[in-house]
Amino acid sequence: METRELGKSGLEVSAIGLGCMGMSYGFGPAADTREMVSLIRSAVDLGVTFFDTAEMYGPWENEKLVGEALAPVRDRVVIATKFGWDIDEQGKGTGKLNSRPERIRRVADESLSRLRSEAIDLFYQHRVDPDVPIEDVAGTVRDLIAEGKVRHFGLSEAGVANIRRAHAVQRVTALQSEYSLWWREPEAEILPVLEELGIGFVPFSPLGKGFLTGKIDDSTTFDANDFRNTVPRFSPEARKANHAIVDLVGELAARKKATPAQIALTWILAQKPWIVPIPGTTKLQRLEENLGSVGVELTAEDLREIEGAASLAQGARYSEGSQRFIDR
């Protein structure tokens, strides 16, 4: 597996990471713990060194899973986790943001315990909290870095202004936000700022929450607890319209003797050398398929051919309620 540096931070990780959220949260019932421990360890064997989790995934359960799976190889991997949501004592999310300094410190200590780690490699603010100045957030993480509890600071779904303000206090190693062939908004303002400041980019949902794999159509049904049921872009009408994207990618994949998922990931890797996508899966076959995208080559002509795909996407990427947590 080739490696990439996240911006100019000195943090080097595998060119493709593994998003672990769906193993415990968001896409229906949690997967079997033993099977997921085995899957994460298989990822390490296949060369993955970058694993993404968050205290909110579960809550807490995903960090415990990742901590258990990676404990035997902790010195060989980079673990990213996140703070920023309010969670009650019973482990239930309140639906509110909370990035107060005392909360950040508490999350750091509790995440270290769940992850069985001496330090958090990359600590993201999960969403920008409008009630807490970003300078206070960055300053708190800066102090945690000085104390040896955290190694790198990250932001998720942050806008340009807050990226700059945070970076002025504590170097931002990476921004994690959605980016894929069917969500290219970061290209307009975000990517230029990241390049200017030497910040890495970690796209989540690089396969369009599964849509770009070609396995989902307008007749697909999701588990009652799958958050895609609330996403406008996954309404039956939008899925039917958006399948034109998958058709286009699928045609190119057939010519390249690859899969649509591999083409979608290869396209992301081709955009910038400091971009590291983190597709998630609960299946070894899909993990191997995703990692195989590193060996797929797209020519300049291929890239031009799929440039028009994004213009076909229809539907909002989040429900109206979730949109309020996105920083602009």
Mean pLDDT by 10 residues, the chain (328 residues): 97 98 93 98 98 97 98 98 94 93 98 98 98 98 98 98 98 97 92 98 94 86 88 85 86 95 96 98 98 95 80 70 69
CATH of the domain at 205: 3.20.20.100
- Is residue 9 in some structural domain? yes
- Is residue 58 in some structural domain? yes
- Is residue 155 in some structural domain? yes
- Is residue 135 in some structural domain? yes
- Is residue 328 in some structural domain? no
Strand spans (E) along the chain: 3-5, 12-14, 18-19, 50-52, 78-83, 85-87, 93-97, 120-125, 150-156, 172-178, 200-204
305: domain range? 3-323
By annotation, the residues acting in catalysis are: 57
Structure tokens at 267: 């396209």
Domains of the chain: total: 1
Q: Please report the pLDDT score of residue 311 as a whole number.
A: 60
Q: pTM value?
A: 0.94
Q: Please report the pLDDT score of residue 319 as a whole number.
A: 67
Cα distance between residue 79 and residue 210, in whole Å: 23
Q: Please report the pLDDT score of residue 25 as a whole number.
A: 94
Q: Please report the pLDDT score of residue 243 as a whole number.
A: 84
